[in-house]
Amino acid sequence: MPASAAPLRRKASNAGRFMAAASLAVLMAACNVNGTVGASPAEPGDPVETRPANAPDQQPAFENQTRAPGVVTEAELSHTVVAEGLVHPWGLALMPDGNWLVTERPGRLRIITADGEVGEPIAGLPEVDARGQGGLLDVITGPDFATDRRIYWSYAEPRDGGNATSVARGVLSDDRTRVTDVEVIFRALPTYDGDKHFGSSLAFAPDGKLFITLGERSDAPMRPQAQDLGSHMGKTIRINADGSVPADNPYVGQDGALPEIWSLGHRNVQGIAIGADGAVWTVEHGTRGGDEVNLDQAGLNYGWPEVAYGIEYRGGEINEGITQKEGTEQPVYYWDPVIAPGGMTLYDGAMFPGWQGNLLVAALKEKHIARLVIEDGRVVGEERLLTGLGDRIRDVAVGPDGAVWVVTDENNGKLVRLYRP
C-alpha cells in the first residue's frame, strides 16, 4: 500500500481501553511503570548514557555539559497510543480547544482530537518537496489564533533549481477543513538541490516575534554557509508575524548580512522552545556525536562547522577535532553518541510538578524523550522517558492537563499521550 494511502485508525476511548486492558499482560504492554523502564541509571547519580563516546579524547568544557547525572521520576507513568496510521508525522501543535494540529511529511495537515479522532487532510496548503528529510515540517498556532484563526507552518518548498525551507501562514476555516489567505512570509536563501537538513522548528516568543530554525543542508559544499551571514543556511531566524524584519535584530544594517538572522553556526536545528522569560532554547543534530542543546542568543556564533563535538560520519575528526574556539559559544549540553534530537518543549503543567521548567527533547534514533533538569541555565540531570514505546519520537508537546504528547516518525506514525494515572 503506498504511503499516501496508509489507513488512519482511531484508538479506543480511555474507558474502552481500560476495559479491554483488564489483564495484567495487556496493561503492561500499554504502559511504562515507574518512569523509565530500561533507562534508569545503574546507581543513583550515574549517567543514563552508558555507550562509549565516538570521540573519547574530547573533554567537556564544564561540569555536566554531557552525561549529566541520571534522575528518575518517582511517580507512576503510563502511556496510551491515542491515534495511529499517520505517515511520518513531523509537527504537533495544541489548539485552544485541546485538539491537535499534526503535520505529515508527505504534505498533509490534520486535526486529531484528544480522544483520537483523525480528521481528513486540511485543504489549501502549498506544494511541498517531500523527499529525503524534506516535506511538510512544523506547525504552530498564531499568538492571536483565538480571534484570527491564523496558523503557521514550515515546509521544503520546491523551487527552480532545487528547494529550501519556507514558512507560510493562513487562516483555518471555521469548519476546520481548509486554510485560506495563504501567504509565504519567509523563504530561506539560497535555493539548493538537496534533500537534507531543512531544519525546521517554529516558535513565537512572548513579544510576538516568530523564530525559525534552519539547517545548513548537510552536503560538504554547503557546510561553510552556516558561518556566512549572506546565507540563511545553518541559522536561527527571527521575524515579525507578518514576515517583516524586527528593527532590533542583531544584523540589521550590516553590509552583506541578511537581516532576518538571529544567530549562526548551526548544523540542523529541529527543535526550539522559548520560555516565559523570552529565553530561546534550540537543539540540533550532530554527526557521530555532537547533538547540541543551546541557549540561543542574538548575534552569537554556535560554531558549526569550525567547532564541534563528535566525529565525521565516515570516521575521523571534524575540522581537526576542535571543540572550543574564541568567538564561538559552547553548547549547554551535548550527546556523544547521538540521540538524534527532534522537537523540544519546556515543561509547564500541573501533572508533573517536579518537571517544571525542564526541557523535554524528542529522540529519534534512541527512541525516547530526554528530560533535562535545568538549573541556572545548566543541565544538572537527565532522564529517559517513553523508552518502552520503541518508535522514533519526532515532536513533543504538553497538553492542557500537563500530560505530555508526542508524535512518532514512522510509516505507521502514532500520537501518544504520556501521563500519570
197 is catalytic: yes
Which one of 197, 232, 266, 285 is the catalytic residue?
197
> Among all chains, which residue has been given the C-alpha cell 511529511?
105
Beta bridge partners of 104: 89, 108
Closest CA to 163 of 203, 215, 123, 238: 215
Count of helix runs (H) and strand runs (E) in the chain: 3, 24
Do 381 and 71 form a contact (C-beta atoms < 8 A)? yes
Within 95-251, strands assigned E span 100-104, 108-112, 136-141, 150-159, 162-172, 179-187, 202-204, 210-213, 236-239
A 10 A CB-CB count for 12 gives 17
DSSP 224-277: GGGG-TT--TT-EEEE-TTSPPPTT-TTTT-TT--TTEEEB--SBEEEEEE-TT
Do 47 and 335 form a contact (C-beta atoms < 8 A)? no
Q: How many CA atoms lie within 13 A of 137 on its CB side?
A: 31
CA 349 to chain CA mean position, Å: 19
Greatest distance between any 2 Cα atoms in the chain: 68
Q: Which DSSP symbol is given to 176? A: S
Q: Which DSSP symbol is given to 354? A: G
Q: Which amino acid is at 139?
A: V
Instruction: Return the active site residues.
Output: 197
